[in-house]
Amino acid sequence: MAEAHTKNHDYHLVDPSPWPFIASVGAFVMALGAIGFMKFAQGTEFVLLGMNLTGWGLFAVGLLIVLYVMFGWWRDTIRESAQGHHTRVVSLHLRYGMLLFIASEVMFFVAWFWAYFDASLFTGEAIQYARVEATGGHWPPAGIETFDPWHLPLLNTLILLCSGTTVTWAHHALLHNDRDGLKWGLTCTVLLGILFTICQVYEYSHAAFDFGGNIYGATFFMATGFHGFHVIVGTIFLAVCLFRALAGQFTVEKHFGFEAAAWYWHFVDVVWLFLFVSIYIWGAGTPAAH
């Protein structure tokens, strides 16, 4: 009987887990809460099945459920790795999964770039199909004062490029079992990610245009704003890796969690370079005087 249950393959058949179901519930609650929150921001109500779901409370509950699932599910994944379940085949498939996730993120940003270039290259279509002010037949639209790309946007570019260097330093240090280099490299990367977010918030607070009312503001804030959100996610990702590094959980042989975070961070860097060139430089009009 013992031989019948012997594992003769390199795959990991996971135990029954509640996390997929709980994650689905949390995502559904958060989606309904997001509708209620946006209705609240508009000054209207969101009523479903006789219940008034207007406000931010339901969204907060869904977000807490999703965060709890993320903590519990990834904790179980780390435990499975420590137990030896992540064989070479499993590790390879984890890498495939991360690559496919990044590929999906690439297509996500392609949509925003597509919207930006469609509005900027075909201004007549923007006037015909979008309920926004006319572009005046040129880009940026008439009356829009854009950011000077060679000031704060350039500084943010240098910050992200430096962060890509420091995360590579941390990875190289880990491969050579340099614990101090790993910790300092991750620390510098997290601090640079926080600095980038601070600069982005400062830039938004000094924008001479709004999100609504014109196609330039809509495409600008959607593209750069979602990138900023990804920077925040990547910073949290790397901060978790820093705590795990301080706890000694990464080894030269097993450190895919950090490797995935580094891949994600380099992806964020590359997207910003495209944003900087296409939106800040190529799409620059009359810089705001401030």
Q: Position 84: which residue type?
A: G
CA 127, chain centre distance (Å): 31
Determine the pLDDT at residue 135.
Answer: 52
Q: In 3D, which of 234, 238, 253 has the Cα closest to residue 182?
A: 238
Determine the pLDDT at residue 6.
Answer: 62
Q: State how far the Cα of 175 lies from the Cα of 157, in Å rounded to an integer.
A: 27
**All residues at 6 or more sequence positions from 45 whose CB lies less than 8 Å from its CB, including other chains:** 39, 52, 54
Q: State how far the Cα of 181 lies from the Cα of 256, in Å rounded to an integer.
A: 18
Q: Where are the domains of the chain?
A: 1-85, 87-287
Q: Is the pTM of this model over 0.95?
A: no
* Structure confidence by residue, pLDDT tens digits, 185-227: 999 999 999 999 999 999 999 988 888 778 888 999 999 999 9
Q: Which CATH architecture has domain 87-287?
A: Up-down Bundle (1.20)
* Structure confidence by residue, pLDDT tens digits, 23-82: 999 999 999 999 999 999 888 989 888 889 999 999 999 999 999 999 999 899 888 888
Q: Where are the alpha helices (DSSP H) in the chain?
A: 19-42, 57-82, 88-121, 123-129, 152-175, 179-205, 215-246, 256-275
CATH number of 1-85: 1.10.287.70
3-state secondary structure 11-28: CCCCCCCCHHHHHHHHHH
Mean pLDDT of 227-240: 96
Neighbours of 128 (CB within 10 A): 9
